[in-house]
Structure 1
């Protein structure tokens, strides 16, 4: 099956340019589809905010790449435990690093979910 994962061309100023199209706000990418994600900062990161990724489990992605904003931060324990219980790996880092990592991994054909807090 051919994949059409969006590329992250740019980030900053409160949004992302994905495959040439500007999107304001945070973004969730799952099953090679970008969606608006209503998480503006780490304090809003909850199990519920990641329900699409957790619900898809390993069918949707090998692991979840979390962009935590301008600075890396430890996701809440409940989030870490729910992602692990869903059978997904979890990598978290600042959003700029997560955007670059996402591009590298998708270019290698990896199935990655990305939840990126806008910077």
Structure 2
């Protein structure tokens, strides 16, 4: 699905997604991804906690896309991120991508970690 373009003030946006991929800043990335205003990287999924914890001090909110369906994030992961000042919002990956796009366009310190559909 292609998302509606907008002005993101130079920040990377999630421009589209489909089975197994995300299009970020006109680059197609396969598998899970971690996106901040300035970079998009492959992400090892829920077991790759180090990548999420490294966001401490850089973001205030993490939109965690759990794939095609809404699911709860592991409680210990949420607790670890809250300890370093990051609020976590779990939702489906399409909803997380749209939420990230809206809030990063507002200039807020956010990221999204997206599991593929």
TM-score above 0.5, yes or no: yes
- Return the match for 1:28 from 30, 34, 40: 34
**Cα gap change, 1:31/1:10 in structure 2, threshold over 3 Å: closer, same or farther?**
closer
- Counterparts of 2:73 and 2:36, CA distance in 1: 19
- What runs of 5+ residues in structure 2 fail to find an aligned partner? 1-8
Q: Is the 8 A contact 2:37 2:104 kept in 1?
A: no
- What runs of 5+ residues in structure 1 fail to find an aligned partner? 40-44
Q: Deviations over 1:57-115 (max 9, x none)?
A: 1x210111100001111111111110111111111100010111111111111111211
TM-score by length of 2: 0.85
1:16 Cα deviation after fit:
0.6
Q: Kindly indicate whether residue 89 of structure 2 is the aligned counterpart of residue 91 of structure 1.
A: yes
- Counterparts of 1:100 and 1:8, CA distance in 2: 8
- Return the match for 1:4 from 3, 10, 14: 10
Name the Cα RMSD after superposition: 1.5
Counterpart secondary structure, 2:69: coil
Q: Kindly indicate whether residue 66 of structure 2 is the aligned counterpart of residue 68 of structure 1.
A: yes
Q: Between Structure 1 and Structure 2, how many residues are aligned?
A: 109
TM-score by length of 1: 0.84
1:56 Cα deviation after fit:
3.2
- Counterparts of 1:107 and 1:96, CA distance in 2: 17
- Return the match for 1:80 from 78, 90, 98: 78
